[in-house]
A and B are shown apart, each in its own frame.
Chain A
Amino acid sequence: MKSTILAGALLAFAAATGVHAQAIKLADVAELSGGGATVGTNWKNGIDLAIEEINAKGGVLGRKLEVTHADSQSNPGVARAQVQKALDAEPYVLLGPGYSGSVKVTAPLAAEAGIAQIMGGEAAELTQGGNKFLFRTSFGQQSSMPKVAKYIHDEMKAKTVAVVWVNNDFGRGGRDMVTKELERLGSKVVADLSTEAGQADFAADVGKIKAANPDAVFVYLNEEESARILKELKRQGVTAPLMGETTLIGQKVIELAGDAANGARGHVGLTTDAPVDLIKAFREKFAKKYNYVPDHNGLKGYLAVYMVKATTEKMGKVDPKKFADTLHGLTIKAADEPGILMDVTFSDTGDIDRQSFLVEVVEGKQVVKQVLPKVK
């Protein structure tokens, strides 16, 4: 009897210490190569930095965080396979991907598994299909594009606009939203140009823009292509003001485009140049660790992990099935969780609400021109 009690006690102790020591496993699937390598690399580095910080302070509810990174190769098909593989290992939360097209094909897998997916995609449609497990780290296009169109119409006073977009889910979603808003406000779209992901030569596209002679150009491409078109716009002497979203004026774009990025403006949900002390501190930590200044994807990856931390601490337990329910409607205040960087609220659809910024590239640097408040 004594030996049975002793064995039971030992087993209970072992189980308890085992659980205590067991890490919380996160799975990340990101664009580590291919056209979205800039996106994925920044996202991954942001995740790693956050995990390092959290673990150094004792982890989440006393448990360390662990993450596995998988490369989607910026290809939705590969992303789907990688997410399936990641879900088979039963992670606590799935992080990524960053490309809307990849999110679109992987979200049903995570939802079916009942695992929350915190991702970087911005296509409007992602959170409009009733998926209860999908969460954004940045604005969806339904939130950002009305602000962009309003700026083009009200501030740039543009009566005619050329819209250049990348022909994928991300680009199409942005193009549809901004075109609708521009027309509603009374600005006419005089050139509607679709381009391909990975496109190298933008001479013909810029030629079309020149021929349309618009008052403003809205550019909505991925980072590398943004840099290429900025160079071509400068090369062909297009003087119309350029407006975009985060991907037009990101740090990597500025580095790649050089002088050609000067003057470009964009609405950004996140920027490392934001006049926010916690973001400035993040930027310093990131630059110290990785030797470069991150773009918004670094912030998104970092935030994603702190979303996991704050939600888990709110629940008081590690429960993958209840995670999504808890995050819906949750407001995380930066004062309580500095890693979240700014006060943020998640809607019932997984969309995000927080301050955003209007940025202009001046002499190779992002300069925040306006801070836009939370919607609600």
Chain B
Amino acid sequence: MSNLFDLLVAGLATGAIYALVAVGFTLLWQTSQTINFAQGEFVMLPAFLMLAAMHAGAPFWLAIILGILLSMILLGLGFKMLLVDPMMRHGVLPLAIATMALAIGLKEAVKQFFSAEASPFPSIVPTGDISILGHAISLQSIGVLVVAILAVFGLTALLNRTSLGHQMQAAAQNPTVARIIGVPVERMILLTFLINAFLVALASLLITPIYLAKFSSGEVLGQAAFIAAIVGGFNQVRGAIAGGLLIGVLDNLAASYVSTQYRAAVPLIFLIVVILFRPQGLLGRAEERTV
């Protein structure tokens, strides 16, 4: 059982990262009907921006700030203005395909300009263990979990308890009515893109010390977060959070109690089961379509 406790903590820590990334999927979908298949690469890039800043001589804390700011400019503002806005008029499918192309472009660019090899990345959380209920739990797991949970709580507080958040929700739920009542819908949508960029930069900061900085590291993460978002409910932030944590824990338990060989298949099987019995996701709401 002691092993189970350790697995749960490690799974929740990984799942919290998936949740951060999955929340981005749902935010973009709700406000702008954008499925960003480059979301995994969005997590990969900030680590390299931070590494570039460090190579240029910036201390780690400054590199983090620069990395997050640059991510928000490139992956928030730039993504919206240069790709989503021009492609949106052609519909959701061409936009989704464009984000797939963006994913390839980002990977190749990082490979070209940095390296195809993995690079080490410093951790904001010190190494070592603390004792919880008689279990030695690594500070890194705790740190990742705490930071991710704080970020998610901060986001939900922003969405549910502030005027800005209410405007964002109004813009997401019914842009036409929101415009009539004076909500700056375009600005709210932009804000969503910036929040997504902030979340992926944060995820990058937390996960890269464990996964290492590599041009291809977004592939697994993007796929896991996408599954998490669908499992939880693509149109609900809380669904994405639950889906992320669930997939993280499930992955660890499957690797430990089923087989490490088939661990990659377990979340996919889970996804199929959820889609079969609850297509809107575990916490998602069914969307009606008028014809």
**Contact assessment for B217 and A41 in the assembled complex, using a CB-CB cutoff below 8 Å:** no
Q: A195: which B residues are within 8 A, CB to CB?
A: 260
Q: B212: which A residues are within 8 A, CB to CB?
A: 224, 227-228, 256
Using A194-B261, A207-B7, A256-B212 as known contacts, say yes or no to A38 and B252 having CB atoms under 8 A apart. Answer: no
Q: Which of A94-138 contact B (CB under 8 A)?
A: none
Q: Which of B132-147 contact A (CB under 8 A)?
A: 136, 138, 140-141
**Complex Cα gap A214–B95 (Å):** 52
**Complex Cα gap A227–B7 (Å):** 20
Q: Closest A-chain residue to B255, C-beta based?
A: A204
Q: B253: which A residues are within 8 A, CB to CB?
A: 204
**Contact assessment for B251 and A201 in the assembled complex, using a CB-CB cutoff below 8 Å:** yes
Q: Does B186 contact A (CB under 8 A)?
A: no
Q: B118: which A residues are within 8 A, CB to CB?
A: 37-38, 224, 227, 252, 256
Q: Does B104 contact A (CB under 8 A)?
A: no
Q: A37: which B residues are within 8 A, CB to CB?
A: 115-118
Q: A41: which B residues are within 8 A, CB to CB?
A: 115-117
**Contact assessment for B216 and A34 in the assembled complex, using a CB-CB cutoff below 8 Å:** yes
Q: Does A235 contact B (CB under 8 A)?
A: yes
Interface centre among B129, B136, B140, B255 (most CB of A within 10 A): B255
Q: Closest A-chain residue to B207, C-beta based?
A: A200
Q: Does B272 contact A (CB under 8 A)?
A: no
Q: A193: which B residues are within 8 A, CB to CB?
A: 260
**Complex Cα gap A372–B256 (Å):** 38
CB distance from B90 to the nearest CB of A (A): 32
Q: Which of B91-143 contact A (CB under 8 A)?
A: 111, 115-120, 127, 129, 136, 138, 140-141
- Residue numbers of A with Cβ under 8 A of B are 32-34, 37-38, 41, 167, 193-196, 198, 200-201, 203-205, 207-208, 210-211, 224, 227-228, 231-232, 234-237, 252, 255-259
30 residue pairs A–B, Cβ–Cβ below 8 Å: A33-B116, A37-B115, A37-B116, A38-B117, A41-B115, A194-B260, A196-B263, A196-B264, A198-B216, A203-B6, A203-B7, A203-B14, A203-B252, A204-B7, A204-B251, A204-B254, A204-B260, A207-B6, A208-B256, A208-B260, A210-B3, A210-B6, A211-B3, A224-B214, A231-B210, A235-B127, A235-B140, A236-B6, A256-B119, A259-B127
- Residue numbers of B with Cβ under 8 A of A are 3, 6-7, 10-11, 14, 111, 115-120, 127, 129, 136, 138, 140-141, 210-212, 214, 216-217, 220-221, 251-256, 260-261, 263-264
